[in-house]
């Protein structure tokens, strides 16, 4: 009997292991499926809501009984939509262009040029890298409103509206996004990974620093720039806080227009959801096209630590 | 600029001078913008926090008056917002790390299916807080929202997601988790995939099961990434605004969802109290700096 039990134990162990493995796998699949549903459901629900006619919205059903495009029609007829797309893309691309150009130059110098004071300057910048915009948005507003010689201001920054006036506020929205210590840091790290010899040999040939930068190193920076551009575009498309604070909701970007549906006295959920999808779907398509850059860009940020 | 130079014996060569010039030319645009929109705002913040500045024409030094006011007659409920922030962090940080690490462990294997699942997991992180919260506000609607309908069909009493001061921050955390886990999962996946294969092979030979390998090898090796996630989540918490303002436009019932940014905004919108708002910014600045300092210290000690 003793021998028998030993025998079964010996034979049973692989079975037990297999069962355990199968159990683990089943658990994994269930958990992943559950989260998948949680991830997708809000999107599904906004599609369903946007396709429901007004009289169905408050009645619960998992799909529209008589689907209609009326909500989308209303959303597309919103006179602010075209203006908002134009504003959002314009402000984002302008800020992004300046930001990346400025960061490339600075990142290159901090990585490759051994100039006096450079290290100290970089340290000062780095110290501010972790500060959230939340701690300085009020004084940034003051700086922009009191900027000398702009928007009716005199040399001391008095008398006008600076960059927060009606005509100049788009510049006020762009300017703070023109510099990002994180981007400088990110590009500097990237420049450091490129081999030194490339520039050295060119220097012997008597090339100027700017030529070395533009002709030798810049082409190699394409993947890093693509990553930054994609993330900057994403955050620009989604940005709400700064355009709202600066323009008090007057400067129409997509998120501000979306929010207006909810600050209305009686929000029309169907149209609001349709508008929400109109601004969300382009971002999802953008992600699917560039997903390789998204994934590698996210991790590049953490590896630097 | 020259002052920062460490005392060096040998004289500065003409070559070095030229390099200095080139270097500063390269960084000049960045330095100017940095000065105007990062450094100067911080300085202005500190200076005006000791004054009765109203943003336009009043400017008298006020000593610590603004700070004293915040701690005694806190009219914009800034202290409440800091407490809310604390509650948010206490709930959000562990849940976020647990969820994003768990999800990453589920889908970290390099297969085609996993790649698509990971993409789907990331999609909630793509959209803006405003868009995210607009859907959730609708789903959490106390009467017609699908979540309460779902709960009551399971026999669970309805939850007053948007009007109960005890629930408000929980609601914010749920939405933030849905919005934020995808991005952190990507980080964890990369870290898990980077774990040395030979370590795992060796453990397998020693007879360790999948569970043991995960808990004893993989998770401890994820510590640096966890610190990174913690730091970004902590700092991100101070930015909390878009989703909250969408769910709780006026700070929620009894200010239970008021965030620091909303409190600062109140000081400006309700009374042009720029000095007060600056004082709040300075307090936030000190908290953030202390937090990042502690986190970095802890991170270094673990190595």
Domain residues of chain B, as ranges?
Answer: 81-301
Over the stretch A207-263, which tens digit does the pLDDT of each residue have? 788 888 888 888 888 888 888 888 888 888 888 888 888 877 778 888 898 888 888
Tell which wins on pLDDT, A179 or B210. Answer: A179
Domain membership of residue A6 (yes or no) is: no
Interface contact flag, A142 B44, Cβ < 8 Å? yes
pLDDT at A6: 42
The per-residue pLDDT for A11 is 45
| Shared-domain flag, residues A107 and A39 | no
**Domain endpoint, select from A68, A88, A108:** A68
Per-residue confidence band for A134, with pLDDT thresholds at 50, 70 and 90:
confident
- A5 pLDDT tier (thresholds 50, 70, 90): very low
For residues A56 and A167, state if they share a domain: no
The pLDDT-based confidence of B2 (bands split at 50, 70, 90) is: very low
Same domain, A62 and A101: no
| pLDDT tens sequence across B98-113 | 999 999 989 888 888 8
Contacts of B123 in chain A (CB under 8 A): 39-40, 43, 284, 287
Q: What local confidence, expressed as pLDDT, does residue A9 receive?
A: 43
Give the pLDDT score at A101.
94
In this complex, which of A45, A116, A239 lies closest to B146 when CB atoms are compared? A45
pLDDT band at B86 (very low <50, low <70, confident <90, very high): very high
Task: Name the minimum distance, in Å, from the CA of A46 to any CA of chain B.
Answer: 6
- Residue A119 is classified by DSSP as H
- pLDDT value for B302: 63
pLDDT tens-digit series, residues B246-294: 889 888 888 888 999 998 888 888 877 888 888 999 999 999 889 888 8
Asked if the Cβ–Cβ distance from B30 to A179 is below 8 Å, we say yes
What average pLDDT does this structure show over A126-138?
A: 84
Report chain B residues whose CB lies below 8 A from the CB of A242: none
Cβ pair B123, B135 in contact under 8 A: no
pLDDT of residue A305 exceeding 60, the answer is no
CB pair distance less than 8 Å for A39 and B242:
no
% of chain B exceeding 70 in pLDDT: 94
Q: Tell the CATH superfamily of the B81-301 domain.
A: MetI-like (1.10.3720.10)
Among chain B residues, CA nearest to A261: B134
Give me the residue from A142, A245, A302 closest to B187, CB to CB. Answer: A302
Across the interface, whether the CB atoms of A276 and B135 are under 8 A apart is answered yes
Chain A residues within 8 A of B296 when measuring between CB atoms: none
* Paired residues of B61 in beta bridges: B51
Our CA-based measurement puts residue B144 at a distance from the nearest CA of chain A, in whole angstroms, of: 6
How confident is the model over A151-168, as pLDDT tens digits? 777 777 677 777 877 778
Same domain, A26 and A152: no
Report the residue of chain B nearest A279, measured CA to CA: B131
A128 — pLDDT class (breaks 50, 70, 90):
confident
Domain that holds residue A54: 12-68
Minimal CA separation from B167 to chain A, in Å? 20
Same-domain check for residues A31 and A116: no
Highest mean pLDDT among A84-98, A159-173, A203-217: A84-98
Chain B hits for A102, CB-CB cut-off 8 Å, are 29-30, 33
Number of other CB atoms surrounding residue A81 within 10 Å: 17
Which carries the bigger pLDDT value, residue A195 or residue B10? A195
Q: How many CA atoms lie within 13 A of B208 on its CB side?
A: 16
B90: pLDDT confidence band, cut at 50, 70 and 90?
Answer: very high
* Chain B residues with beta carbon closer than 8 angstroms to that of A143: 36-37, 40-41, 44
Chain B interface, best mutation among A138, A140, A163, A172, by max B CB count within 10 A:
A138
User: How close are the terminal C-alpha atoms of chain A, in Å?
Assistant: 61
In the prediction, which pLDDT does A301 show?
A: 61
In a domain, A5, yes or no: no
- DSSP letter string, chain B: -GGGSPP-SSPPPHHHHHHHHHHHHHHHHHHHHHIIIIIHHHHHHHHHTTB---SSS---B-TTHHHHHHHH--TT-HHHHHHHHHHHHHHHHHHHHHHHHHHHHHH-S--HHHHHHHHHHHGGGTS-HHHHHHHHHHHT-TTT-HHHHHHHHTTPPP--TTT-TTTHHHHHHHHHHHHHHHHHHHHHHHHHHTS-HHHHHHHHHTT--HHHHIIIIIHHHTHHHHHHHHHHHHHHHHT--HHHHHH-TTSSGGGTT--HHHHHHHHHHHH--HHHHHHHHHHHHHHHHHHHHHHHHHHHHT-
Which range among A10-24, A28-42, A129-143, B43-57 shows the weakest confidence by mean pLDDT?
Answer: A10-24
Q: Give the gap in angstroms from C-alpha A234 to the nearest C-alpha of chain B.
A: 8
pLDDT over 90, % of chain B: 21
> Beta-carbon neighbour count of residue A171 at 10 Å?
18
Query: Residue A104: its pLDDT value, please?
Result: 94
Give DSSP secondary structure letters for B242-293.
HHHHHH-TTSSGGGTT--HHHHHHHHHHHH--HHHHHHHHHHHHHHHHHHHH
Residue A120 belongs to a domain: yes
**pLDDT the model gives residue B102:** 92
- pLDDT at residue B8, as a whole number: 54
pLDDT of residue A193: 84
The pLDDT of residue B178: 94
Other residues' Cβ atoms within 10 Å of the Cβ of residue A299 = 18
**Does A49 or B1 have the greater pLDDT score?**
A49
Residues B133, B246 contacting (CB under 8 angstroms):
yes
Q: What is the mean pLDDT of residues B229-247?
A: 87
Listed range (A5-9, A174-178, B60-64, B280-284) with the worst mean pLDDT: A5-9
What residues of chain B lie within 8 A of the CB of A287, using their CB? Answer: 119, 122-123, 126
Give pLDDT, residue B7: 55
Q: How far apart are CA B134 and CA A276, in angstroms?
A: 8
Greatest mean pLDDT among A63-77, A226-240, B82-96, B195-209: B82-96
CA distance A29 to chain B (A): 8
Q: Three-state SS for B69?
A: helix
Say which of A24, A46, A110 has its CB closest to residue B210.
A24
Q: Which residue has the higher pLDDT, A215 or A98?
A: A98
| Confidence tier at B34 by pLDDT (50, 70, 90) | very high
Contact list in A for residue B138 (CB cut-off 8 A) is 45-46, 49, 269, 272-273
**pLDDT exceeds 60 at position B6:** no
DSSP 8-class letter at B37 = I
Candidates A197, A179, A174, A199; CA nearest to A108 is A199
What is the average per-residue pLDDT within B20-39? 91
In sequence order, which residues have a C-beta less than 8 Å from that of residue A12 and are 6 or more positions away?
none
Q: What is the pLDDT of residue A13?
A: 56
Task: Give me the total of CB pairs closer than 8 Å, taking one residue from chain A and one from chain B.
Answer: 273
Angle of helix B40-48 versus helix B274-301 axis, rounded to 10: 120
Nearest CA in chain A to B285: A135
A-chain CB neighbours of B211 within 8 Å are: 24
pLDDT digits (tens, 9 = 90+) for B147-171: 988 888 888 888 888 888 899 999 9
**Which residue of chain B has the CA closest to A123?**
B4
Are residues A36 and A50 located together in one domain of the fold?
yes
pLDDT of residue A10: 44
Q: How many domains does chain A have?
A: 2
- What is the predicted pLDDT for the residue at A4? 41
């Amino acid at each position: 009997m003793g021998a028998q039990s030993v025998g079964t134990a010996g034979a049973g162990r692989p079975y037990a292991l297999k069962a355990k493995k199968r159990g683990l796998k089943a658990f994994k699949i269930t958990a992943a499926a559950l989260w998948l549903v949680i991830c997708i459901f809000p999107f599904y629900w906004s599609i369903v809501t946007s396709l429901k006619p007004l009289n169905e919205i408050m009645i619960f059903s998992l799909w529209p009984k008589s689907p209609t495009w009326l909500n989308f029609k209303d959303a597309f007829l919103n006179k602010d939509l075209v203006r908002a797309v134009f504003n959002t893309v314009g402000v984002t691309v302008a800020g992004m262009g300046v930001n990346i150009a400025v960061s490339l130059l600075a990142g290159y110098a901090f990585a490759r040029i051994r100039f006096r004071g450079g290290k100290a300057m970089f340290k000062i910048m780095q110290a501010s890298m972790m500060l959230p915009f939340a701690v300085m948005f009020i004084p940034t507003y003051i700086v922009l409103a009191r900027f000398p010689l702009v928007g009716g201001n005199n040399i001391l920054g008095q008398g006008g509206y600076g960059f927060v006036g009606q005509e100049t506020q788009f510049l006020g929205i762009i300017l703070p996004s023109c510099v990002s210590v994180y981007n400088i840091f990110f590009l500097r790290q990237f420049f450091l990974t490129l081999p030194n010899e490339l520039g050295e040999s060119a220097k012997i040939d008597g090339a100027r620093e700017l030529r070395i930068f533009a002709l030798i190193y810049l082409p190699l920076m394409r993947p890093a720039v693509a990553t930054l551009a994609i993330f900057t575009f994403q955050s620009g498309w989604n940005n709400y806080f700064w355009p709202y604070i600066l323009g008090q909701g007057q400067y129409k970007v997509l998120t501000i227009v979306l929010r207006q549906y909810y600050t209305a006295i009686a929000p029309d959920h169907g149209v609001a959801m349709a508008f929400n999808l109109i601004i969300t779907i382009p971002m999802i398509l953008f992600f699917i096209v560039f997903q390789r850059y998204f994934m590698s860009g996210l991790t590049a940020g953490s590896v630097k630590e | 600029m020259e002052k920062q130079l460490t005392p060096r014996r040998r004289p500065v060569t003409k070559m070095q001078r030229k390099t200095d010039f080139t270097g500063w030319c390269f960084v000049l645009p960045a330095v100017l913008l940095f000065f105007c929109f990062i450094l100067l705002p911080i300085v202005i913040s500190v200076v005006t926090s000791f004054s009765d500045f109203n943003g336009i024409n009043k400017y008298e030094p006020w000593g610590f008056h603004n700070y004293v006011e915040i701690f005694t007659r806190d009219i914009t409920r800034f202290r409440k917002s800091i407490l809310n922030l604390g509650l948010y962090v206490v709930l959000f940080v562990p849940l976020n790390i647990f969820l994003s690490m768990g999800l990453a462990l589920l889908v970290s294997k390099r297969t085609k299916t996993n790649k698509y699942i990971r993409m789907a997991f990331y999609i909630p992180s793509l959209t803006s807080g405003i868009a995210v919260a607009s859907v959730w506000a609708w789903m959490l609607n106390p009467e017609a929202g699908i979540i309460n309908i779902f709960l009551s069909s399971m026999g669970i009493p309805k939850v007053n997601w948007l009007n109960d001061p005890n629930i408000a921050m929980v609601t914010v955390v749920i939405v933030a988790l849905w919005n934020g886990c995808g991005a952190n999962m990507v980080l964890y996946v990369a870290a898990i995939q980077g774990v040395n294969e030979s370590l795992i092979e060796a453990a397998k030979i020693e007879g360790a099961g999948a569970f043991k390998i995960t808990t004893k090898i993989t998770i401890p090796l994820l510590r640096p990434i966890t610190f990174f996630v913690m730091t970004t989540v902590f700092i991100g918490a101070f930015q909390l605004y878009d989703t909250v303002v969408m769910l709780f436009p006026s700070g929620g019932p009894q200010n239970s969802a008021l965030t620091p940014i909303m409190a600062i905004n109140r000081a400006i919108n309700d009374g042009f109290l720029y000095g007060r708002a600056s004082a709040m910014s300075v307090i936030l600045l000190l908290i953030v700096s202390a937090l990042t300092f502690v986190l970095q210290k802890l991170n270094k000690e673990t190595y």
